[in-house]
Amino acid sequence: MLKYSILITLCFWIVAAPTCEDAISPVDARMDHLVRLETVSEVFASESLSDDNLEAFEFKAVEKLMDYSDYLGIIYSKEFPASFREQARQNIAGFFNSNQNAEAALSFKCISGPYNSFQILVDSVEIIEPLSREADTRYMGSMRYAEKILGINTSDTIIVSHSHKTIGIILQMDYKDFGENSLLVWEILLGEITSGD
């Protein structure tokens, strides 16, 4: 349901988008902004979430986990400039529900040695505890995944580590800025990572 609502909204915006020849009046622009806010509010700020909504947020948590592994590959690669690696580090920090969990997710004891870069592969992701309500504005769950770390140099690629891990997923309401306005909306975050091996 959430996916279809978003898809319909995007299609409406594309079809209703003005051409380069049309001039948008300030009143029309403001009305468009208010319509967008109302749509976002209805979809993401609803106090009660259906099973379909929760499933969509679980899918979003899996996407964040995959993005997390991609950013780790950037952080631990000598091929990227320091500023780029620092931006990836900041992006990862935004994925987690606390600074402590974000810092723990960035430290790997096995990443060392004569390698130019490392690739962190995540697969076999499985929701082991579906999101369930913990408080009025908070749901908790967890997922399990396999993590493989590859060390890469000019002549070879070595499997440095292979493990199974569990990570918490948290769905909570938080204020997000939409232009001049802030809305209280649902946000999916990653929690503590624990080793399954």
pLDDT for 54-95, tens place per residue? 999 999 999 999 999 999 989 988 888 999 999 999 999 999
Q: How confident is the model at residue 15 (pLDDT cuts 50, 70, 90)?
A: low
Model-level pTM greater than 0.85?
no
d(CA 103, CA 72): 12
H/E stretch holding 171 reads: strand 157-178
Query: What is the pLDDT at residue 196?
Result: 72
Residue 107: CA count within 13 A, CB half-sphere: 9
- Please tell me the predicted confidence (pLDDT) of residue 41: 45
pLDDT confidence tier of residue 21, bands split at 50, 70 and 90: very low
Q: What is the mean pLDDT of residues 176-186?
A: 73
- Domains, the chain, with CATH or none: 2-10+25-195 (3.10.450)
CA torsion sign for 9, 139, 58, 1 is negative
C-alpha distances in Å from residue 29, one per residue of 6, 23, 58, 136: 20, 10, 34, 35
Residue-level pLDDT at 37: 45
For residue 132, pLDDT beyond 70: yes
Q: Which of 65-69, 81-85, 119-123, 174-178 has the lowest mean pLDDT?
A: 174-178
Q: Confidence band (pLDDT; 50, 70, 90) for 109? A: confident
Cα–Cα distance, 2 to 17 (Å, whole number): 22
Average pLDDT, the chain: 80
pLDDT value of residue 148? 93
